[in-house]
Structure 1
Amino acid sequence: MRDRAAARVMERLRAVEWDGEWDDLLSRVMSRRLLMREYLRRAGLWARACSAEAGWPFFDVVEYLDPAFPAVPQEDAAQLRELLCGSIVVSPVNRTCTGAMRLAEFRARRPDALPDLPDLYEPLLLFYERGGAFLLDHAGFLDLAGVLVRPGTLAGRAAGPPLGSLDRALLDAVDAIGRITYYRAADRHGPALRRRVVRGVPYDEAFGGDGLGWGPAGLPLPASPELAAEFGVVWLDEVEAAALVWAALADGGQPGAG
């Protein structure tokens, strides 16, 4: 009998649109980028805790937790192959999907044997749910469909800042069509700001308001981070910006003061 936790993971994987529409992918570039960054960070922490450095970044962590732990049941493995065979899927995708199922089963049976770390595969499962698989290009980049990301190093990723939340409200709030650059007032007060460029047309926006969303910033923002000081703002990394957005959502629209 299949473990219920593993079965729930399979249900999520079965619902993924592995070959999504290009326009949908472009509208979710930012959340998928953030989710991949968070997965790489967590994978670094788990790899260190489980002596799985050689397998980082895309690995089945249960192989390192307990090499003798039962493999995915044949019926689950067959379903997974069926789900992925029609898609352009690289082995890391298959490996992490299998790992997510096995870790769910391992957690259900032996929760005390797990390190005290945030769930390894949840960011990646959400990534898949928001647009399908990723690819590896010949230069070693991760192609997230709409943006390329360097895997970086285990040490660098593990030391990176955590994503403040995996809540759908945050993921939806950061997503938008266009090339996005984030800013904040130079005194580090006030809301998250962004310049969003769509087909060459810039939109300067701030997060907040009664509707808790993006609206006109009311001030011009720089065309590039190098010009930030001239406009009285500072550039924000996307994880920093996500933290500001999440704080506003959690506080009911009141931007953080520090």
Structure 2
Amino acid sequence: MTTGVSTEQLVARLRRVRFEESLDHNGSRLVLMREYLRRSALWAQALDCLTAWPFFDIAAAADPSAGFGDAFTSFVLGELDGRGLRPIDERVIAYMLNFTTLRAWPPGLSDPFEPLLMVYERGGSFGREAGCILIGHGDGIPQRHPEMHAARESEPDLSPAALDLFDRRWEERREEAARRVGAAQQRSAD
């Protein structure tokens, strides 16, 4: 299969990502992950594959003939080797690549992988543990069930300025929490 423009754009963006986690944009990365969960839940509902949610091959569920073979995906992943990829990243990148081959999708649905790609671009990978999706070093989003995420309000403003504001607010909350902990430790030491 030949690659299209959207595939080439995705690969170019992935080549710029460092997958090691950073706290620099944790606030926006949490917002972006929530948006991915919402969008992928809507896709899972539309395609009647709720049990595969949250990280699944949406293209294959929408059109079994869509997607790339292992050779192309392995080639792209090979180009990203040494950048901190985790096994979950490799699966998600394969799903992203396959999604770029879809020619049509149900009306009213947005590209589910754009917010997830932005999670990577703004500070690296993510993890999963005990029913949570972890961003950074300990911030988590409860996975729960797709219906809960699908019912959330429509997508937030994902412009760079709005995402930077989410980061500043997250950093302010983190600094305030650190001040409270420091003050409590000081009181207990006295």
Asked if TM exceeds 0.5, the reply is yes
Give me the TM-score of the superposition, normalised by structure 1: 0.62
Q: Using the alignment, how far apart are the partners of 2:143 and 2:27 within structure 1?
A: 16
Which 5+ residue runs of structure 1 have no aligned equivalent? 182-195, 202-258
Q: How does 1:39-54 map to 2 (within 5 A)?
A: 39-54=36-51
Q: Using the alignment, how far apart are the partners of 2:90 and 2:107 within structure 1?
A: 24
Who wins on radius of gyration, i.e. which is larger? Answer: 1
Counterpart pick for 1:140 among 131, 136, 142: 131
Give me the TM-score of the superposition, normalised by structure 2: 0.82
Give the CA deviation at 1:74. Answer: 2.0
Aligned residue-pair number: 178
Give the CA deviation at 1:178. Answer: 3.1
AA aligned opposite 1:123: P
Give the CA deviation at 1:85. Answer: 5.7
Give the CA deviation at 1:66. Answer: 1.1
Give the CA deviation at 1:129. Answer: 0.4
Query: Is the CA contact (8 Å cut-off) linking 2:35 and 2:115 kept in structure 1?
Result: yes
AA aligned opposite 2:159: D
- Which residue does the alignment assign to 1:175? 167
- Structure of greater relative contact order (alpha carbons < 8 Å, 6+ residues apart): 2
Which 5+ residue runs of structure 2 have no aligned equivalent? 181-190
User: In proportion to residue count, which structure has more strand?
Assistant: 1
1:60 lines up with 2:57 in the alignment: yes
Query: Is the CA contact (8 Å cut-off) linking 1:44 and 1:157 kept in structure 2?
Result: yes
Q: Using the alignment, how far apart are the partners of 1:72 and 1:133 within structure 2?
A: 24
Give the CA deviation at 1:94. Answer: 2.1
The CA deviation string for residues 122-180 of structure 1, in whole angstroms up to 9 with x for no partner, is 1101111001111122x232221131221121111111123322111110122136352
